[in-house]
């Protein structure tokens, strides 16, 4: 086997690929957070809970409505977005002009409520959800066995991420959105319905969490705790990437997946902590994040 400095290169390539797969997950979740923060200045701590809701949506859809995985992937994010819009209109709107701290606490409270209710309704052991028939099996690569579903995760999330980035940064709609959130009065004067834009943006960001939830259902245990475990990591990714930088969130998500993957190989105990080490270093050296513009 090929080795370099005593490290098995085959094993290492496997770990890198897995890191990239996890990274694409992080990218999807971080993207949603970054959109909501970057455009709306809301720190959405309920993103993890909504991700959990997405996974439960897929489970409930399958078992109660007979929705296949593919329908769930289309409909559940819309449902999550609708819930998000409702939340934005009723709870977040009234404190839109207050300090960031309040939106953080409010959404944290919402996350606690959702997690508590789902634990009560569905228990804490998790629920089974099978990989869709079309994506079962896998491909034998020279250095590892790649399950088809994991390949699907990486392709699908990258397409969604790239599409979102293009939509916000390169299209006219995206330009309205950015302008509308940067200078609401002016855009209002141009006849653009800014509150509507805000609501839709929030719905879109939250919908991304729903997408990630449905994607996660077949590979991770569908359980009420799944969101709180991942939230704080994703949050760190957004900060490292530069709060509000859409492209930064995507790239950092992928990079952190790889960093975490390598840590799992060399020092597994620290795999949950390494991201925070990176975060300290980044904030100290580049306060606005790797891709953010200094304020």
Partner 1 sequence: MNKKLTIALLGVALVAPLAIYPVFLMKILCFALFACAFNLLLGFAGLLSFGHAVFLGTGGYITGHLMLNYSVTPEIGIIAGVICAGLIGFVYGKLAVRREGIYFAMITLALAQLAFFFYLQAPFTGGEDGLQGVPRGNLFGVIDLEDNMTMYYFVLAIFSAGFWLIHRCVHSPFGQILKAIRENEPRAISLGYKVEQYKLLAFVLSASLAGLAGSTKALVFQLASLTDVHWFMSGEVVLMTLLGGMGTIWGPVIGATTVVGMQNMLASGPLANYIHVVMGVVFVICVLAFRNGIVGELQKLVKKNF
Partner 2 sequence: MKVMQKTLLATAMAATMAITGSANAAGLSDDKVKIGVLVDMGGVYADICGQGCVEAVKMAVEDFGGSVLGKPIEVVSADTQLKPDIGSAIARQWIEQEQVDVINGAVASSVTGAVTKVASDAKKITLIAASASHAFTTKACTPYNAHWTYDVVSLANGTVKPIVQSGKKKWFFVTADYAFGHALESVATGVIKENGGEVVGGVKAPLGTTDFSSYMLQAQASGADVIALANAGTDMVNSLKTAAEFGVTETADVAGLLVFTPNAQALDPNVAGGMKLTTGFYWDMDDETRAWSKRYMARMDNKIPAMPHAGAYSSTMHYLKAVQAAGTDDSDAVMAKMKETPVEDFFSRNGYLRADGRMVHDMLQVRIKKADERANGDDIFAIEQVIKGDDAFLPLSKGGCEFAMAKN
Do residues 133 and 145 touch, judged by C-beta distance below 8 A? Answer: no
Do residues 129 and 224 touch, judged by C-beta distance below 8 A? Answer: no
Phi, psi of 5 (to 5 degrees): 55, 40
Do residues 82 and 115 touch, judged by C-beta distance below 8 A? Answer: no
Q: CA angle, 204 as apex, 74 and 58 as ends, to 5°? A: 35
| Nearest distance, CB of residue 149 and partner 1, angstroms | 31
**Per-residue contact string for residues 117-156; x = within reach of partner 2 by CB under 8 A:** --xx--xxxxxxxxx------x-----xx-x-xx------
User: What is the distance between the alpha carbons of residues 288 and 275, in angstroms, rounded to a whole number?
Assistant: 17
User: According to the binding rule CB under 8 A, does residue 97 interact with partner 1?
Assistant: no
Can you read off the two tokens belonging to residue 4?
A: 């370099």
Residue number with CB closer to partner 1 (29 or 197): 29
Q: Which stretch binds partner 1 (CB under 8 A): 5-13, 28-36, 104-112, 187-195?
A: 104-112
User: According to the binding rule CB under 8 A, does residue 53 interact with partner 1?
Assistant: no
User: What is the distance between the alpha carbons of residues 73 and 157, in angstroms, rounded to a whole number?
Assistant: 12
| Nearest distance, CB of residue 105 and partner 1, angstroms | 5
Task: Work out what residue 280 binds among partner 1, partner 2, none; the CB cut-off runs from 5 to 8 Å by kind.
Answer: partner 1
- State the number of binding residues for partner 2 (CB under 8 A): 43
User: What is the distance between the alpha carbons of residues 233 and 253, in angstroms, rounded to a whole number?
Assistant: 10
Task: Work out what residue 80 binds among partner 2, partner 1, none; the CB cut-off runs from 5 to 8 Å by kind.
Answer: none
Considering only residues 11 to 30 of the shown chain, the ones binding partner 2 according to CB under 8 A are 11, 14-15, 18-19, 21-22
Considering only residues 236 to 255 of the shown chain, the ones binding partner 2 according to CB under 8 A are none
| Nearest distance, CB of residue 56 and partner 1, angstroms | 16
User: According to the binding rule CB under 8 A, does residue 112 interact with partner 1?
Assistant: yes
User: What is the distance between the alpha carbons of residues 142 and 135, in angstroms, rounded to a whole number?
Assistant: 20
| Nearest distance, CB of residue 161 and partner 2, angstroms | 18
Alpha helix (H) ranges present in the chain? 9-40, 47-60, 69-87, 100-122, 148-170, 172-182, 184-189, 194-216, 226-241, 246-266, 274-285
Do residues 194 and 184 touch, judged by C-beta distance below 8 A? Answer: yes
| Residue 3: its H or E element | strand 3-4
Residue number with CB closer to partner 2 (132 or 184): 132
User: What is the distance between the alpha carbons of residues 272 and 184, in angstroms, rounded to a whole number?
Assistant: 40
Task: Work out what residue 53 binds among partner 1, partner 2, none; the CB cut-off runs from 5 to 8 Å by kind.
Answer: none
User: What is the distance between the alpha carbons of residues 212 and 51, in angstroms, rounded to a whole number?
Assistant: 6
Interface residues with partner 1 (CB under 8 A) are 43, 91, 94-95, 98, 100-102, 105-106, 108-117, 119-120, 232, 236, 239, 243, 269-270, 272-273, 276-277, 279-280, 283-284, 287
Binding site for partner 2 (CB under 8 A): 8, 10-11, 14-15, 18-19, 21-22, 116, 119-120, 123-131, 138, 144-145, 147, 149-150, 219-221, 223, 225-226, 229-230, 261, 264-265, 268-269, 271-273
């Amino acid at each position: 086997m090929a080795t370099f400095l005593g490290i098995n290169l085959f094993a290492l390539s496997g770990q890198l690929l897995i890191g990239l797969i996890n990274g694409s997950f992080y990218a999807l979740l971080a993207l949603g957070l970054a959109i909501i923060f970057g455009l709306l200045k809301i720190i959405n701590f309920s993103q993890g809970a909504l991700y959990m809701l997405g996974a439960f949506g897929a489970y409930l859809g399958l078992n109660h409505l007979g929705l296949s995985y593919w329908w769930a992937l289309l409909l559940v994010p819309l449902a999550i977005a609708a819930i998000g819009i409702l939340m934005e209109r009723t709870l977040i709107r009234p404190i839109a002009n207050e300090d960031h701290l309040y939106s953080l606490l409010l959404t944290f409270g919402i996350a606690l409520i959702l997690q508590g209710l789902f634990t009560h309704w569905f228990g804490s052991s998790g629920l089974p959800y099978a990989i869709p028939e079309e994506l079962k099996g896998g491909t034998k690569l020279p250095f590892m066995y790649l399950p088809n579903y994991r390949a699907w995760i990486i392709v699908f999330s990258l397409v969604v991420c790239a599409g979102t980035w293009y939509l916000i940064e390169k299209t006219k709609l995206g330009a309205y959105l950015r302008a509308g959130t940067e200078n609401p009065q002016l855009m209002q004067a141009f006849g653009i319905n800014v509150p509507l834009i805000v609501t839709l943006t929030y719905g879109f960001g939250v919908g991304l969490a729903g997408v990630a939830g449905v994607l996660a259902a077949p590979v991770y245990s569908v359980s009420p705790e799944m969101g709180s475990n991942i939230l704080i990591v994703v949050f760190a990714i957004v900060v490292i990437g530069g709060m509000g930088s859409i492209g930064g969130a995507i790239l950092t998500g992928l990079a952190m997946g790889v960093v975490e993957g390598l840590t799992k190989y060399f020092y597994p105990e620290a795999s949950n902590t390494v991201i925070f080490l990176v975060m300290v270093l980044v904030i100290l050296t580049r306060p606005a994040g790797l891709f953010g513009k200094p304020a």
